[in-house]
Amino acid sequence: MVEVGSCLPCGHVYGLSCIRRWIQPHLISAKCPQCNANCALKDVRKLYASPVVINDEDLHKKVQSLEAEIGSLKTERADLLHIQDSLLKIQDNLLKELSNLEEHELAVEGARLFDMNVSYQNLILARRISGMGGIHMLNKINMINTHENEDIQLPPGTKAVKDLKISPCGRLTLLASLGKKLSILSMGSNNIVTTCDLRVPAWSCAWDLNSPHCIYAGLQNGMLLVFDMRHTINPLQSIVGLTAQPIHTIHSLVHNPILGHDAQKLLTASSLGPCVWSTSSGERPFPVPGLDNQGICTSLAYGPLSDDILASYRPKYDTSIATVNLPSSNQGSSSVPGQGILGSQVLVKRVADSFYHKLGSTSAHLSYVQMVKSAIVNMENCCPLLAYADGVTHGLRLRELPSLTVNQNLKPHHHTILDVKYAHTQGIGMLGCASEDKFQLFSAKMS
């Protein structure tokens, strides 16, 4: 507490409480301690006024608000530290899972693309055997024992298979081919059970994840066909796209009623970029926001569990753009590097029915001429990963999402990796990649 000053009639200055204690015992004969001049309590004069306290309600409320905000920030900081600890644990789990990857390698001739079903342990591989004009065929492989495989001859006129998808039930395989055909193969009999003749070649196909009877075909002219196997082999819908460029990728979006997702939504990609289709309305698609003017879209990966979407782009063709070659000092004996080009990869998350949030982008070495597939790896208790082919080293790279940092480089191939797929079931996840002369299968038990 600050002492209040006071003055006696003689002019000498003292603390108010002190001089009062001095005068009190000598009320009649009190004198100044310094000059002995007579004085009384009534003669003491305050030199400074006592502090006045004003009750400011607005200021009091502001103080309370700031105190509450400080408490909230402390709680938020504690929550962030907890989240950070959780992310570090997730990262440790991820590194542990990746270190336990088991690799199986199979020599193949003319491999182009594949699909696999972990639940039924089967894998189907499309190949082009060199020779007079090339022979297109399929290979069915047992994922438990990759040396157990069967050759499947395709009907005349099928030509090159541009896309294939094993059904969720594992008993059928959908084939899209340049022979203007959409075919369904029985995995039990190895025979084509249904063929839909198309007006133009098919570049992509997909099963609907929400309806077992619905299938889709993406055409060379940018149109999308919708089929229902219960009714007819003819398409129920033919929807015009945003461009006449081929639809090279189709993903059926997972129905999530909590987020308001439509059960009949498709995600596709052409060289223009990713588009979202609503087959229930039959309207033309809309481009995924935030991906305008990125270049030529060469790959589109989708993670159904995390709703992550990653599009890869290479620059538009330009003679002034230099391709990238791996320096000879970095070449391994098992890798023959090839031309690649510096492109970009853009990550987007689907957060609502028609709302997509761009999370980030990064540069990547992509194939200069080929449209190479990529995949998103969703492992339990781990961050999602992007698996894609490096256009320079011919190796498979893994990037953590959403940071897009390179996590691991897997064993390279002699030739460009053309297809990458990920599939999982309870307790196990499998990542596969195929190049012209080799098929690799990586498996990990998920905790």
Q: Mean pLDDT lowest for which of 54-58, 73-77, 144-148?
A: 54-58
Domain boundary among the residues 259, 287, 315 is at 287
Per-residue pLDDT for 281 more than 60? yes
Specify the pLDDT at position 302: 95
**Distance, CA of 345 to CA of 360 (rounded, Å):** 9
Query: Which tens digit of pLDDT belongs to each residue from 156-183?
Result: 888 999 999 999 888 999 999 999 999 9
Q: Mean pLDDT lowest for which of 148-157, 303-312, 407-416?
A: 407-416
**pLDDT: which is higher, 422 or 75:** 422
**pLDDT: which is higher, 104 or 307:** 307
220: confidence class by pLDDT, cuts 50, 70, 90: very high
- pLDDT, average across residues 236-253: 93
Per-residue pLDDT for 49 more than 70? no
Looking at the fold, whether 256 and 301 belong to one and the same domain comes out as: no
Of the segments 140-149, 154-163, 309-318, which one has the largest average pLDDT value? Answer: 154-163
CATH number, domain containing residue 228: 2.130.10.10
**pLDDT: which is higher, 85 or 118:** 118
Per-residue pLDDT for 318 more than 60? no
**Distance, CA of 75 to CA of 68 (rounded, Å):** 11
Looking at the fold, whether 139 and 283 belong to one and the same domain comes out as: no
Q: Evaluate whether residue 66 is within a structural domain.
A: no
Token pair for 164: 């294939």
Specify the pLDDT at position 398: 92
Task: Note the pTM of the prediction, 2 decimals.
Answer: 0.72
Looking at the fold, whether 407 and 300 belong to one and the same domain comes out as: yes
Q: Evaluate whether residue 271 is within a structural domain.
A: yes
Q: Evaluate whether residue 215 is within a structural domain.
A: yes
Q: Evaluate whether residue 51 is within a structural domain.
A: no
Per-residue pLDDT for 296 more than 80? yes
The whole domain housing 15 covers: 5-46
Looking at the fold, whether 330 and 360 belong to one and the same domain comes out as: yes
Per-residue pLDDT for 319 more than 60? no
Looking at the fold, whether 432 and 312 belong to one and the same domain comes out as: yes
Distance spanning both ends of the chain, measured CA to CA: 65
Looking at the fold, whether 105 and 175 belong to one and the same domain comes out as: no
Domain boundary among the residues 287, 304, 319 is at 287
Token pair for 308: 């992550």
Looking at the fold, whether 169 and 263 belong to one and the same domain comes out as: yes
Q: Evaluate whether residue 56 is within a structural domain.
A: no
Q: Say how many domains are in the chain.
A: 3
Specify the pLDDT at position 334: 32
Query: Which tens digit of pLDDT belongs to each residue from 186-217?
Result: 999 999 999 999 999 999 999 998 888 899 99
Looking at the fold, whether 202 and 281 belong to one and the same domain comes out as: yes
Amino acid code (one letter) for 383? C
Specify the pLDDT at position 85: 65
420: confidence class by pLDDT, cuts 50, 70, 90: very high
**pLDDT: which is higher, 52 or 443:** 443
pLDDT averaged over every residue in the chain: 82
Looking at the fold, whether 336 and 352 belong to one and the same domain comes out as: yes
Looking at the fold, whether 168 and 32 belong to one and the same domain comes out as: no
Looking at the fold, whether 33 and 75 belong to one and the same domain comes out as: no
Looking at the fold, whether 90 and 188 belong to one and the same domain comes out as: no
- pLDDT, average across residues 307-319: 84
- pLDDT, average across residues 310-319: 81
Q: Mean pLDDT lowest for which of 13-27, 36-50, 83-97, 225-239?
A: 83-97
142: confidence class by pLDDT, cuts 50, 70, 90: confident
**pLDDT: which is higher, 88 or 293:** 293
Domain boundary among the residues 242, 264, 287 is at 287
Query: Which tens digit of pLDDT belongs to each residue from 254-269?
Result: 766 555 545 578 999 9
Query: Which tens digit of pLDDT belongs to each residue from 74-94?
Result: 888 877 777 666 665 555 555
**pLDDT: which is higher, 49 or 361:** 361
**Spatial CA neighbour of 164 closest among 203, 134, 208:** 203
